[in-house]
């Protein structure tokens, strides 16, 4: 039943060999990996606008220089990541690059930063998407959170179906967004040339604070969210069709050009035309309104913004599970995160991301502006570590033109490091501190898990003192019975088929019950000894464990008695709720009491299946 539902929702299982045919061509790859990067203009513009608005028109005049500074950073990072893609054709996420070149600790720091960041990207994209809808239809404002969660659920399902399906589904909104926005920007440019520059209406923004360096830096760091997502392709190289790194590199260049065009174009025109927004409206919405009025065109733009933001969350779904799987395979996260599901995707990672994103949206009540300060710390930390790693790599390898390459990555690293410091300082009290606290916590967890797996593999290793491979004599067998009935027949038969030394064991819960059991048992199995013990505290565990310990001590043979559990299994799963789970309790006790009791006992389940 559950399996059937799962198949309807996500499709039938796929064989492993189809892995290759699930690869993405460049058109689809751009759609799968770019929405995060492209869509970030929606909230980055908004953050720059809000940051400067408090300083009035003098403040808003700074949007253009800040925009240019961010675009420069974008170019530096694009060059940097292009080199990373060439250097790591098998997928060079920040984790791998940092770990390879700087060591395990910087590697897991980058990984922690990125995982947190993917979560935030998904949450911010979804809430910003709902902001765009609510700008066009203010009546929807109260339903932002629930709408964001519904979209999240849809994206999760699409991703559980598999990556090519998600590439296909995402292609439509991405290209729709590109076409409508580029067309609007072109139209705006023509309009700007014809109408000349606008000026801020006298009614509009009055300065409440002066333009300070802190204000500029704070706005710059908020605006840097525009660059997030540029690293997505370098993590996702294995999803490309061969030649992977060549295709990935080309896709990165195209994506960076599109990002730059959209960001510079929208922020430049907004300032040139002196657009301002109503309090319950985003600046991008006001900008589209200024150009297109209340025409159908305006609503198309808002729809395409919402759609690209909705699918931007999808970039996290492309990357988070993949990074979690890499970490799990290397023993920094639980193993199940590295399992390929029926549809050849890492479903555990997808579900974990979906859960975390939903929690973030609920916790912050769907408020984009509250989430943004948490956002950039992780990205820029990961950027810095991975670019630094690349510098070390070029320096060590010293291949052709290594100097120029090292300089390119070095400049990238320096730029992102400075940005990271600006972000941390200017937004520390607004929420960045949460990330500063979380990253060390995540890193500690990763390292402890890693330690555990190292211990396990040491304990499992066959090398060193060779284990004894000689089988012992047939075991002593104890069969706990709850009475004399058909449910125990199979267990006693099985016990006698593997050993001549079988003892039945009955616990008397209510005084006087033992007599009848003893008589019945001796009639059916006169040659099997039956031991009866009272249980003054009505526990079935303690008397059984005590008895087992006693027989082991009595026999001095260094062997532990084996327990054969008669277990009757109802015809329907819900019927198990109706019965006392004696055998389940015994099994659990065997597992968890062993530390106190010092044994590791073989348990044999002999089922007796009920028919109705």
Cβ 25 to a copy of itself shortest distance, Å = 25
Of the pair 165, 605, the CB lying nearest a copy of itself is at 605
Of the pair 296, 460, the CB lying nearest a copy of itself is at 460
Cβ 548 to a copy of itself shortest distance, Å = 14
Cβ 107 to a copy of itself shortest distance, Å = 19
Of the pair 193, 592, the CB lying nearest a copy of itself is at 592
Side-chain half-sphere exposure of 362, counting CA atoms within 13 A: 9
Of the pair 199, 588, the CB lying nearest a copy of itself is at 588
Alpha carbons 258 and 181: distance in angstroms, whole number: 11
Cβ 495 to a copy of itself shortest distance, Å = 8
Burial of residue 333 (number of CB atoms within 10 Å: 0-12, 13-18, 19+): buried
Cβ 605 to a copy of itself shortest distance, Å = 5
Alpha carbons 166 and 397: distance in angstroms, whole number: 38
Of the pair 146, 584, the CB lying nearest a copy of itself is at 584
In 3D, which of 324, 308, 294, 57 has the Cα closest to residue 170? 308
Of the pair 203, 592, the CB lying nearest a copy of itself is at 592
Alpha carbons 405 and 234: distance in angstroms, whole number: 17
Tell me, what DSSP letter sits at residue 474?
P
Cβ 570 to a copy of itself shortest distance, Å = 8
Of the pair 434, 604, the CB lying nearest a copy of itself is at 604
Cβ 318 to a copy of itself shortest distance, Å = 21
Alpha carbons 476 and 479: distance in angstroms, whole number: 10
3-state secondary structure of 606: strand
User: How far are the Cα atoms of 284, 287, 351, 446 from residue 381, in angstroms, in the given order?
Assistant: 29, 33, 25, 17
Helix axes 347-363, 296-329, angle to 10 degrees: 130
Of the pair 342, 549, the CB lying nearest a copy of itself is at 342
What token pair was written down for 436? 């500063």
Alpha carbons 427 and 222: distance in angstroms, whole number: 9
Cβ 6 to a copy of itself shortest distance, Å = 13
- DSSP labels, 541-557: HHHHHHHHHHHHHHH-S
Side-chain half-sphere exposure of 502, counting CA atoms within 13 A: 20
């Amino acid at each position: 039943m559950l399996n059937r539902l799962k198949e309807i929702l996500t499709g039938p299982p796929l064989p492993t060999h189809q892995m290759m045919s699930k690869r993405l061509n460049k058109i689809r790859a751009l759609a799968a990996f770019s929405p995060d990067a492209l869509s970030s203009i929606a909230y980055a513009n908004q953050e720059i606008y809000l940051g400067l608005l408090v300083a009035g028109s003098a403040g808003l005049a700074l949007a253009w220089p800040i925009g240019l500074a961010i675009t420069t950073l974008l170019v530096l990072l694009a060059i940097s990541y292009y080199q990373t893609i060439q250097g790591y054709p098998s997928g060079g996420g920040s984790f791998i690059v940092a770990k390879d070149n700087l060591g395990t600790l910087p590697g897991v720091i980058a990984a922690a930063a990125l995982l947190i960041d993917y979560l935030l990207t998904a949450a911010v994209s979804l809430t910003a998407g709902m902001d765009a809808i609510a700008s066009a239809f203010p009546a929807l404002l109260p339903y932002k959170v629930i709408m964001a969660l519904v979209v999240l659920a849809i994206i999760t399902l699409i991703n559980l179906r598999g990556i090519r399906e998600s590439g296909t589904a995402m292609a439509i909104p991405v290209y729709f967004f590109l076409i409508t926005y580029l067309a609007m920007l072109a139209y705006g440019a023509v309009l700007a040339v014809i109408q000349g520059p606008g000026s801020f209406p006298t009614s509009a923004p009055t300065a409440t604070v002066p333009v300070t360096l802190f204000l500029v830096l704070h706005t710059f760091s908020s605006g840097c969210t525009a660059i997030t997502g540029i690293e997505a392709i370098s993590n996702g190289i294995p999803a490309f069709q061969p030649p992977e790194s060549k295709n990935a590199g080309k896709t990165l260049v195209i994506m960076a050009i599109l990002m730059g065009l959209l960001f510079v174009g929208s922020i430049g025109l907004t300032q040139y035309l002196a657009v301002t927004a109503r309090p319950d409206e985003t600046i991008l919405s006001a900008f589209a309104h200024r150009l297109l009025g209340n025409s159908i065109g305006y609503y198309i733009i808002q729809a395409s913004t919402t759609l690209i933001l909705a699918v931007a969350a999808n970039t996290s779904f492309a990357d988070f599970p993949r990074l979690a799987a890499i970490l799990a395979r290397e023993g920094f996260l639980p193993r199940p995160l590295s399992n390929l599901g029926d549809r050849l995707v890492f479903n555990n990672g997808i579900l974990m991301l979906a859960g975390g994103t939903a929690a973030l949206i609920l916790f912050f009540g769907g408020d984009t502006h509250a989430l943004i300060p948490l956002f950039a710390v992780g990205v820029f930390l990961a950027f810095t570590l991975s670019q630094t790693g690349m510098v070390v790599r070029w320096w060590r390898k010293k291949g052709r033109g290594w100097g120029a390459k090292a300089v390119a990555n070095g400049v990238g690293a320096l730029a992102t490091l400075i940005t990271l410091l600006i972000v941390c300082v200017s937004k520390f009290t607004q929420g960045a501190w949460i990330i500063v606290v979380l990253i060390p916590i995540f890193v500690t967890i990763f390292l402890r898990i890693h330690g555990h797996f190292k211990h396990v593999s040491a304990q499992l290793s066959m090398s060193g003192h060779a284990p004894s491979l000689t089988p012992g004599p047939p075991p002593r067998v104890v069969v706990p019975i709850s009475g004399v009935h058909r449910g125990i027949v199979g267990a006693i038969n099985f016990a006698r088929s593997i050993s001549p030394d079988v003892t039945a064991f009955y616990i008397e819960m209510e005084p006087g019950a033992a007599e009848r059991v003893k008589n019945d048992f001796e009639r059916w199995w006169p040659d099997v000894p039956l031991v009866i013990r009272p249980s003054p505290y009505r526990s079935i565990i303690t008397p059984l464990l005590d008895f087992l310990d006693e027989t082991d001590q009595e026999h001095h043979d260094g062997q532990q008695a084996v327990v054969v559990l008669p277990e009757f299994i109802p015809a329907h799963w819900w019927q198990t709720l109706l019965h006392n789970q004696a055998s389940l309790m015994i099994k659990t006790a065997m597992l968890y009491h062993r530390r106190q009791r010092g044994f590791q006992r073989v348990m044999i389940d002999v089922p007796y299946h009920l028919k109705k």
